Structure 1
Amino acid sequence: MASTFIRKLFTGDSGDDPAAVAAYNAMTTAFLQSDQLITEIEGGVAAARAVDPTGQVTQQWVPLRERYSAATATYLQLQRPVPDAPYQPAPVYQECTRTLERVCDDMTRFRHRFSDALGRARAAQQLATEAAQKARIDANTAVAALDRTENLPYLQYPSVVAAVDVLAERVRTLDTVTGNADRREAAAAVTDATAAIHTALAAAPGRGAEAQNAVRSIATRISAVATRAEHIGPARSALLREFSAACSNDLVDNDRLAAAESTAADHELQAARGEITAGRPESALAHCTAAREHLRTADAAVDAVTDRLRTLREVRDNPAQVADKVRFRLRDAQQLAMQRDLVADWGSVLDAQVERIDRACAALDGVHPDYWTYMTDLEAIDRFITGIVDRLRGRG
């Protein structure tokens, strides 16, 4: 009784055709072989497709994969639905077996032909996967650092908030990209963002002292600018006494500009002190940055007047020196044009600068020489000649 059950289980009913049973088993073996092959190959093909969607690997694989799918569909149709189901004639199974074997042979040849490409693609995919995994670990570590008790007071600091926002955005990008190169790039961006969080948290405890020092420094600078601004009036008066009004018309409002910018800097300073009192040192530092910008403008307004007076006096004492420097540069440019055999291209342009220099010098012969226009005209000519020299050297 038991032997009959065993025989029915493994070989079917005693009425089954042994050739059909053997053919069915051979078909099953061929299918299992094809399934194993496609499992080995398809991961590499997917990796290769991610690198080059239209490459040879993808092009060659698509029709082979379709043949495998068709052969598999036939195999599934021929499978016996239950153990006691009757077998079909052996030739039916044999035809499917031959189809599966041909597909296996072609897949084996495909694997051999593209083994290097598939290997490189798998390696690239592995690197991208590892980079993404490491980036996510880094991100989790940064998030855990935010939850530490000692860091809780700094979670509202703008630098920390901004760093957290960047990390969240870059993790979202990592979750959406698919290509190996894009995944590695996105993973690197996540790692950089996590480092920024650690940097912000490490710097946060010192922001209070940094803000206090900045406030003291700016208070000192405001006082220094106010002291220096006292020289604007005398310098402006000297300009008007010694030179024509045209030499300083653009500086008429510099005293008011310096005062307004100093006042704006002081307002920012007071705001910074208020932020420190409120326990927001990074906001205080932002006000300090704005105060420094105002002070730079105020400094420039003061320097413009005193520097103009000094410069005009130097030009007045030796006006020929300014023109001589430009003429010297012009002669060098003319010689360079000759050396590079470019006189036909640039000779007339350079010669025209002689007339420009002469006109600038002639303008000083009036009753009230405009030394500022004289100097700025010569500087413009000098810049023009310098540009020509650069082009001469570039063509040479």
Structure 2
Amino acid sequence: MFGADGWEDGPDGGRRRARGESVTVTTARSWWRRGDNGRAEAQAAKDAAAQAFYELDTAQRELEIAIETISAVDSTPEARRALEGFRALGEKIDRVSAAYITTVDAHDLDRDGLEHGEASRARGELTRAKDELVNTRTELERFQAGLAPLLGKAETQLARLAPARERAKQSLLAASQALDTVRAAGLKADDLAARLAALGPELTKLNEGASKHGVQDTVRRADEMRRTADAVRAEAERLPHQAEEIDKRLVSLRTRVQALGTRAEGVAPVLSELRRRFSAACWQDLQAVPDQAAQAVRQAEDALAEARKARAEQRWADATARLATVRALMDDVDGAVAAAGDRLRRLNEVSKDPKGEVERTRFAIRDAQRLAMQGRSTPEPRHARPLDDAVARLDRALAGLQGRHPDYWAFLTETAAVRETANRVVANIREDRAAGR
């Protein structure tokens, strides 16, 4: 029998629905499940879009770091194009992200009574937003892959930054310590201290870093500071030795000036003997030597006094310059005094026996003639001609010694010139044979 609720008891103790009864309850439950599935699918689409949004945002941040690295180091047209491309890509990311946020805000998936159609629309729009986000991230990754060469070069330069700064600061510290050591030894080194102090503004810029001044400028600044500081340190370390060397040179040059002063006084007797024994042509060019030597000695003594004063005041460059002046003056005096004594010696020798000078010159000519004839029946005219002229010149020079007051100095000058001609011919022959001519 069917009860009032439309169900009857079955023979097995169960209950069954009467024939023809509506299945409203079952159908209502099926609709509810389809609505619940639509909400779940829309929520899944929302979660996938959120994940795509997060991944795009993360990729964009990584790309920003890469672009900042390149921009800090590279200012080439290629780097500028990369920056422009990043800006255009950033605008697209902003549009896609804004569309995604708008889509999310347009659909409240947690609202009670969400209809199946509305859930389906939400799922479709969120899926499209997710696809746009994914496609944009793929485009971003391709763009970033194309930046690899620029980024690698930029990272290489950035890797130089920290070591360059550290080396510069270590060099500054070493220079400062070297100056302290020098000052403790009683040396002022004011010029070195001034050069080191001039690096102060550069150190400030170095500490401000690459973010303000750029990597390339910062590395360049660090390298220049290091070189300057190293130079200051080296000069400071060398300063005690320089002072010691200047002191030694002061003593040595003082002794030399005194000795050359004494030697210069001996030029007058030499000239006197030259005048007495030889013709004027043999000594006229030496007439001014005593006065010139005496004047040079006085100038050297003055320069030496200035060098001592500069040393006392620790003006090292001035002291060195004055000592160089003293040395140059002494070389001049030494040469002039030696020339007078050498002139008298050579004139004495040739006046006693001119044959020695003649034989020495003839030997040079014959040696050149033998070389010119070596392997030949006749010499090259360009070699033979100057040698023939040399023989004639020697004969004329020897003939010039006849008379009461021969010009021995002209004779010595001419024989020296003849020997030089012979030596020049020898050198030319050897060059020709070396070249296969």
The bucket for the TM-score relative to the shorter chain is: 0.5 to 0.7
Equivalent residue, structure 1, for 2:236: 198
Equivalent residue, structure 2, for 1:11: none
Equivalent residue, structure 1, for 2:260: 225
Equivalent residue, structure 1, for 2:144: 107
2:91 & 2:250 partners in 1: Cα distance? 78
Equivalent residue, structure 2, for 1:299: 334
Q: Could you say if the C-alpha distance between residues 203 and 210 of structure 1 is closer, same or farther in structure 2, counting changes exceeding 3 Å?
A: closer
2:357 & 2:97 partners in 1: Cα distance? 106
1:362 & 1:241 partners in 2: Cα distance? 28
Equivalent residue, structure 1, for 2:298: 263
Equivalent residue, structure 2, for 1:373: 413
* Alpha-carbon distance, 1:258 to partner: 0.8
Confirm whether residue 26 of structure 1 aligns to residue 59 of structure 2.
no
* 1:193-231 residue CA offsets vs partner (Å, 9 max, x unmatched): 133243245447xx3x66555444333222211222233
* 1:152-210 residue CA offsets vs partner (Å, 9 max, x unmatched): 9533x4xx515853895899699799489977974663354133243245447xx3x66
* 1:270-289 residue CA offsets vs partner (Å, 9 max, x unmatched): 3345556x654745555444
Higher mean displacement: 241-250 or 225-234:
241-250
Q: Could you say if the C-alpha distance between residues 67 and 136 of structure 1 is closer, same or farther in structure 2, counting changes exceeding 3 Å?
A: same
2:163 to 115, 121, 130: 130
Confirm whether residue 318 of structure 1 aligns to residue 348 of structure 2.
no
1:390 & 1:181 partners in 2: Cα distance? 57
* 1:115-148 residue CA offsets vs partner (Å, 9 max, x unmatched): 9x937x7556635752453133212331354357
Higher mean displacement: 372-381 or 385-394:
385-394
* Alpha-carbon distance, 1:232 to partner: 1.7
* 1:25-61 residue CA offsets vs partner (Å, 9 max, x unmatched): 41441342254256358747976x69xx6xxxx85x6
8 Å CA contact retained: 2:178, 2:237: no
2:178 & 2:292 partners in 1: Cα distance? 48
Q: Could you say if the C-alpha distance between residues 220 and 63 of structure 1 is closer, same or farther in structure 2, counting changes exceeding 3 Å?
A: closer
8 Å CA contact retained: 2:160, 2:219: no
Q: Which amino acid aligns with 1:69?
A: R
Q: Which amino acid aligns with 1:161?
A: D
8 Å CA contact retained: 1:30, 1:97: yes
Equivalent residue, structure 2, for 1:143: 176
Confirm whether residue 236 of structure 1 aligns to residue 271 of structure 2.
yes
Q: Which amino acid aligns with 1:101?
A: T
1:327 & 1:169 partners in 2: Cα distance? 68
Equivalent residue, structure 1, for 2:195: 165
| TM-score when normalising by structure 2 | 0.62
Tell me the matched-pair count: 357
Q: Which amino acid aligns with 2:191?
A: V
Q: Which amino acid aligns with 1:118?
A: G
2:345 & 2:201 partners in 1: Cα distance? 58
If you compute each CA radius of gyration, which structure gives the higher value, 1 or 2?
2
Confirm whether residue 118 of structure 1 aligns to residue 152 of structure 2.
yes
* 1:76-104 residue CA offsets vs partner (Å, 9 max, x unmatched): 34444998896595546644642431341
2:427 & 2:197 partners in 1: Cα distance? 46
8 Å CA contact retained: 1:222, 1:262: yes
Q: Which amino acid aligns with 1:104?
A: E
* Alpha-carbon distance, 1:374 to partner: 0.8
Q: Which amino acid aligns with 2:263?
A: R
1:329 & 1:182 partners in 2: Cα distance? 64
- C-alpha RMSD of the superposition: 4.9
1:262 & 1:224 partners in 2: Cα distance? 10
8 Å CA contact retained: 1:268, 1:288: yes
Equivalent residue, structure 1, for 2:12: none
Higher mean displacement: 166-175 or 62-71:
166-175
Equivalent residue, structure 2, for 1:8: none
1:290 & 1:373 partners in 2: Cα distance? 32
8 Å CA contact retained: 1:139, 1:191: yes
* 1:319-378 residue CA offsets vs partner (Å, 9 max, x unmatched): 234424543563476479x79xxx9xx944323321442243133122434124314423
1:304 & 1:185 partners in 2: Cα distance? 54
1:389 & 1:188 partners in 2: Cα distance? 56
2:308 & 2:328 partners in 1: Cα distance? 17
Equivalent runs, 1:56-135 vs 2, <5 Å: 66-80=84-98, 91=128, 94-95=131-132, 97-108=134-145, 111=148, 114=149, 118=152, 122-123=155-156, 126-127=159-160, 129-135=162-168
Q: Could you say if the C-alpha distance between residues 82 and 377 of structure 1 is closer, same or farther in structure 2, counting changes exceeding 3 Å?
A: same
Equivalent residue, structure 1, for 2:396: 363
| TM-score when normalising by structure 1 | 0.67
2:389 & 2:226 partners in 1: Cα distance? 57
Q: Could you say if the C-alpha distance between residues 168 and 324 of structure 1 is closer, same or farther in structure 2, counting changes exceeding 3 Å?
A: farther
* Alpha-carbon distance, 1:269 to partner: 3.0
Equivalent residue, structure 2, for 1:250: 285
2:314 & 2:47 partners in 1: Cα distance? 83
Equivalent runs, 1:278-293 vs 2, <5 Å: 279-280=313-314, 282=316, 284=319, 286-293=321-328
8 Å CA contact retained: 1:235, 1:306: yes
1:151 & 1:272 partners in 2: Cα distance? 24
8 Å CA contact retained: 1:37, 1:108: no
